[in-house]
Amino acid sequence: MQKSRILVVDDSRFFNGLVSKAVQERVNVDVVSAFTFAETRQAVETTVQPISLALVDLMLSDAAKGEAVDWLLERGVPCIVFTSIFSEDLRERLLSQNAIDYVVKDTPSSLDYLINLVERLHRNGETKVLLVEDSKVARDYAAGLLKSYQFQVIEAGDGAQGLAALEANPDIRLVITDHHMPRMDGVEMIKRMRVTHDQDRLSIIGLSAGGGGALSAMFIKFGANDFINKPFLPEEFFCRVMQNVRMLDMVDRLTDMATKDGLTGIHNRRFFFEAGEALFASARREHLSLTAAMIDVDFFKRVNDAYGHDAGDAVLRRVATALRRQCRQTDVVARVGGEEFAILAVNMDSGAVGPFFEKLRAAIAAEHVVIGNQSLAVTASFGVCHGAGTSLETMLKIADENLYRAKQTGRDRVEIS
């Protein structure tokens, strides 16, 4: 898959280099530099890979009146404009041309704002937005703005289509909806969406040309995160959309901090036991089998003592990656102690348990961690309990006893009961 390509246009070689370097360090993209309007045209017209975003100085040596910005926008290249001057007339002109944003080059913080904005737009490329609007003209306008912000846009013409689109695309992160629509209005659609999608997982922005504060309050009351009155300024629309997406990102980060192990990136002990109790209850209720495994890295203390904790951390990350890669997507994989990992798997056939964990053991044994000019072999011992025990705690105790037996009988082994 090709990287996105960003064009940086500024006739100051110092500022151009500063921006290009900052973008490359923070965002996984290819950066193309241009110093004149002529070089800008050449960069766009000769590139095989389209330019996904341009960061453009308003005044260039061969285009002092913003011709480079006009030319890029006419060709559908999303632009962030940076300039050393600011006026309301300039602001109105740039936004009326659908420039994404403008940044005044007056303080060092303006560069931070610019790079943060580029980073946000790059992440937007992985974010799906559902736009629900019965007016094709209004829908095309809003969709054009969202696409210029790099979002993946899914469109629907009424509330019923919106519900169907969300069901077909459960990874939609943001919904923007009008109120007055045939078949199902925006408020009714939001009420139904909130039955299955919480506010910290799906953000919803309401839109309407009428109704005033009462309609805004009704939208919020029934589950919208925000509300925008029509007609709106593109700048307001952009700020509201970005604010809602940033809030979702913040919730995700906080959730990761609470449920993920900071070193290995897999789930932590707290998540394992919370999810484990729910899985155990579900398995008992639906008469499914549950398999619990405890895994311990062999001779881990020797690695820390001989090579240092950085080497030990590298081993743990390598083991976690091997486990996650080999396990099924539905399996719960977690680091529950220093060098100890655990797995919970639902409805694994009894005949598949032995081969599955042997495969995991072999995958870890195939790993080697390079420390300096040495290659460290990594092995782990497994204790497994298969079946529906009387409690999750009992199953984990049996798995732990089997792990102890695997350690006592030579390590790099799987013991199952």
CATH number where 243 lies: 3.40.50.2300
Do residues 111 and 132 both lie within one domain?
Answer: no
Do residues 61 and 130 both lie within one domain?
Answer: no
| Cβ–Cβ under 8 Å, residues 62 and 38 | yes
Rg (C-alpha) for the chain, rounded Å, is: 27
Q: Which of 232, 258, 284 is the last residue of a domain?
A: 258
Express each pLDDT in 285-314 by its tens digit. 888 889 999 999 999 999 999 889 999 999
Cβ count near 69 (within 10 Å) = 29
Closest alpha carbon to 82 in 133, 23, 30: 23
Do residues 40 and 167 both lie within one domain?
Answer: no
| Cβ–Cβ under 8 Å, residues 178 and 250 | no
Q: Which of 72, 99, 123 is the last residue of a domain?
A: 123
Do residues 412 and 273 both lie within one domain?
Answer: yes
Do residues 31 and 135 both lie within one domain?
Answer: no
Instruction: State which H helix or E strand residue 259 sits in.
Output: helix 234-259
Query: Would strands 290-297 and 203-208 be described as parallel, antiparallel, or unpaired?
Result: unpaired
Q: Is 224 exposed, middle or buried (0-12, 13-18, 19+ CB in 10 A)?
A: buried
Q: Terminus-to-terminus CA distance in the chain, angstroms?
A: 45
Do residues 110 and 202 both lie within one domain?
Answer: no
Query: In DSSP terms, which residues pair with 53 in a beta bridge?
Result: 6
Residue 131 included in any domain: yes
Do residues 142 and 278 both lie within one domain?
Answer: no
Do residues 245 and 278 both lie within one domain?
Answer: no
Query: Would strands 101-104 and 128-132 be described as parallel, antiparallel, or unpaired?
Result: unpaired
Closest alpha carbon to 294 in 211, 205, 417, 391: 417
Query: In DSSP terms, which residues pair with 178 in a beta bridge?
Result: 207
Do residues 310 and 320 both lie within one domain?
Answer: yes
Residue numbers of the domain that contains 293: 269-416
Residue 263 included in any domain: no
Residue 226 included in any domain: yes
Domain count, the chain: 3
Closest alpha carbon to 103 in 228, 237, 10: 10
| Cβ–Cβ under 8 Å, residues 380 and 412 | yes
Cβ count near 373 (within 10 Å) = 5
Query: Would strands 226-229 and 172-178 be described as parallel, antiparallel, or unpaired?
Result: unpaired
Mind listing the pLDDT tens digit of every residue in the chain (417 residues)?
456 789 999 999 999 999 999 998 888 889 999 999 999 999 999 988 889 899 999 999 999 888 999 999 999 899 999 888 777 888 888 878 888 988 888 777 888 889 989 998 988 989 999 999 999 999 999 999 999 898 999 999 999 999 999 999 999 999 999 999 998 999 999 999 999 999 989 999 999 887 667 888 999 999 999 999 988 888 889 989 999 999 999 998 888 888 999 999 999 999 999 999 988 888 888 888 899 999 999 999 999 998 899 999 999 999 999 999 999 888 999 999 999 999 999 888 889 999 999 999 999 999 888 887 888 889 999 999 998 667 899 999 999 999 999 999 999 999 998
Cis peptide before 170 (omega within 30 of 0): no
Do residues 119 and 129 both lie within one domain?
Answer: no
Do residues 132 and 182 both lie within one domain?
Answer: yes
Q: Which of 208, 227, 258 is the last residue of a domain?
A: 258
Do residues 29 and 56 both lie within one domain?
Answer: yes
